[in-house]
Amino acid sequence: MNELPAPLRPEIASLETSRIQQVFDLGFGRKDLIALWVGEGDQPTPAFICDAASDAMKAGKTFYTHKHGIPELREAIAAYTSELYDIDCAAERVSLTCSGMSGIMMVLQAMVGAGDNVVVVTPVWPNIMSAIQIAGGVVRAVQLDGLPDGGFKLDLDRLAGALDERTRAIFIASPGNPTGWIMSREEQHTVLEMCRDKGIWMIADEVYARFIFDGQETGRRAAPSFLEISEPEDPLIVVNSFSKAWAMTGWRMGWLITPPSFIETLGRLIEFNTSGAPHFQQYACLTAIRDGEDYVHETVERCRRGGELVFQRLSALPRVRIARPMGAFYAFFGVEGLSDSLAYAKQILEETNIGLAPGSAFGPGGEGHMRLCFASSTARLSEALDRLEPILSKPL
């Protein structure tokens, strides 16, 4: 291979290929593969959303837009957020981004420089750790404690102890990918207070906010949000996305809610990163958020059924440790004696044609686990479980 003409920044040269990608590469193009390694469901975007995009495209909505998005969509997201959490969220705080990932990247560009660190609750979606590295920062992982029943818990003292004078932000995804762990209201209060006190940012990834499975009992339609306990000028950025709740992973659309005083800075970053989100897609997002509530409800219910099936079947296996999924759409289960989850993911792929993500991909606290995405039909999941049960029952 030819040498690159110029040296890369060390942060970029040392970026690892994601371990999920490594398993994916091995499985690419296989016949009869059931891929449960990625973070998306098995359903395409519903027609009413696609129609809104094609109508908008045909109506000439094909130009650059305001860098924070078309006003109607910012208003609609503010109204959705206000209604969902019974708060008053101003449209001026809402900014459209080309995916949740792009939003995270810009936020990190704004606050992290060489030698700074971000305290991240792990196991976490690996892109977060890479994004911090790309920005020149250092990841300070605070790993969730694994509970005997397979659940997870955050040690707030350890979180506080990880902060130092170079900490620019705390990053927490709740509901979490891969664990499905949901942060409590009390924990949010404590962490927000830490951020206020130390003058650091709280980056709250609420991409899976709608995926909670105890809504029937609690009457809630979303996991507790930092937005419910904060003031507009708190050092809080909330990341959200159209990807999961509206089955729009391929559209690359998301949004941020920020303090009013940050929005100007974010606007500059949007200008120089993407120059704004695609025009006609914003109309599809408008339809999704205004008319998609029934769809979101059905999607979450489908995931609840999928999660319950996976839990029932896997918890019956003596070598598997799994808690009933509470949020997001992943089973993150421990396997007795497992110490190399990447090799195990490859073995499972070879022997069963089932694609799982290795726990080690998700940083400290992930090894010893496997992640299975259950945003699928129960028929597809049942077939996958039939194939997985024998291998998960064999000693390692």
Asked whether position 243 contacts ligand PLP by CB under 6 A, the answer is yes
Residue 325 has phi, psi (to 5 degrees) of -60, 135
Question: Is residue 249 near ligand PLP by the rule CB under 6 A?
Answer: yes
Q: Is 101 in the site for ligand PLP (CB under 6 A)?
A: yes
CA angle 144, 147, 150 (to 5 degrees): 100
Cα 343 to its chain centre, rounded Å, is 25
| Alpha-carbon span 114 to 254, nearest angstrom | 27
Under the binding rule (CB under 6 A), the answer on residue 125 touching ligand PLP is yes
* Least distance from ligand PLP to the Cβ atom of residue 254, Å: 4
Q: How many residues bind ligand PLP (CB under 6 A)?
A: 13
61-90 positions binding ligand PLP, by CB under 6 A: none
DSSP secondary structure letters along 210-221: T-BS-HHHH--S
Region of residue 187 (left: phi > 0; alpha: psi -120 to 50; beta: else): alpha
In the bound state with ligand PLP, the residue whose beta carbon lies nearer, of 42 and 383, is 42
Position among 95, 122, 167, 241 found at the interface with ligand PLP (CB under 6 A): 241
Q: Which stretch binds ligand PLP (CB under 6 A): 6-14, 53-61, 99-107, 341-349?
A: 99-107
Residue 245 has which token pair? 């709740």
Q: Which of 91, 207, 286, 338 binds ligand PLP (CB under 6 A)?
A: 207
Q: Using the rule CB under 6 A, give the single segment among 23-31, 55-63, 94-102, 107-115 that binds ligand PLP.
A: 94-102
Determine, following the binding rule CB under 6 A, whether residue 173 of this chain makes contact with ligand PLP.
yes
Q: Which residue has tokens 């089955």?
A: 247
Tell which positions 254-273 bind ligand PLP, by CB under 6 A.
254
Positions touching ligand PLP (CB under 6 A) are 39, 99-101, 125, 173, 177, 205, 207, 241, 243, 249, 254
